[in-house]
Amino acid sequence: MEALFYVFSFIAIFSALMVVTMRNPLTSALYLVLCFFALAGFYVILDMQFLAAMQILVYAGAIMVLVVLVIMLLNISRIKNIGSDLHQKIIGGLISLILFAEVVLYIINGAQKKPTGIFTRALIKKIGNTQIIGEFLFTEYMLPFEIASILLFVAIIGAYLFAKKKY
C-alpha cells in the first residue's frame, strides 16, 4: 500500500506539472487524463472503489472527451503557442508557493481529530462502498441529489445557449 501510494503520488504530481507547463493544449489534456487515473488509484487505496470508477467514467471519460472535442473544434495552430509573461510567472509562482507553505504548515501543526464516525474500513468492506453511498444519497442527501439534477439540466441549457451562433 505504501509503495503504491508513492507511485501514484509521483505520477499525479508529475502529470499535474506537465498539464501546467506544456505548450500544446492537447498534450496538457492527455497528461490531465493520466493525473485523473492516478487519483482514481488513490481512491482505490482508500477503499472507495465506487468513487474511483466515477472518477474514470466522468472525469477521464466525459469531461476530457469534451475538452479534446473543443480543442479539435478550435483551430489548433492558433491556440497552440500562447505564452505567458515573465512577471506573470514570477507572481504566480510566488502566490502558489505561499499558498503551499500555508497549507502545509496548517496540516503539520493542526490538531489531529480522533475518528468519530462508525464507518471503519472493515465495515465499509463488509457492506460494500457502493451500497453505503447509494443508501446515503437516497436518504440523508436526497435534497442535494435532486438539486444536482436541476443544476445539470440548467447547465445543458446554458451550454446550448453559449455555443449557439447568435445570442
* Residues between 46 and 105 with contacts to another protein, criterion CB under 8 A: 46-48, 51, 54-55, 58-59, 62-63, 66-67, 70-71, 73-74, 78-79, 82-84, 88-89, 91-93, 95-97, 99-100, 103-104
- Return the residues of window 102-121 that contact another protein according to CB under 8 A: 103-104, 107-108, 113, 115-121
| 52 vs 43: CA distance, rounded Å | 5
| Minimum distance of another protein from residue 161's CB (angstroms) | 8
Q: Phi and psi dihedrals of 165, rounded to 5? A: -65, -50
Binding of another protein by 126 (CB under 8 A)? no
Binding of another protein by 20 (CB under 8 A)? yes
| Minimum distance of another protein from residue 147's CB (angstroms) | 9
| 163 vs 167: CA distance, rounded Å | 9
| 139 vs 143: CA distance, rounded Å | 9
According to CB under 8 A, which one of 3, 77, 111, 162 is a site residue for another protein?
Answer: 162
Binding of another protein by 159 (CB under 8 A)? yes
Cell of 43: 481512491
Binding of another protein by 7 (CB under 8 A)? no
| Minimum distance of another protein from residue 137's CB (angstroms) | 7
Q: How many residues bind another protein (CB under 8 A)?
A: 80
Burial of 52 (0-12, 13-18, 19+ CB in 10 A): buried
Binding of another protein by 4 (CB under 8 A)? no
**H-assigned helices in the chain:** 2-21, 25-45, 49-54, 64-73, 76-79, 86-109, 121-127, 129-138, 142-163
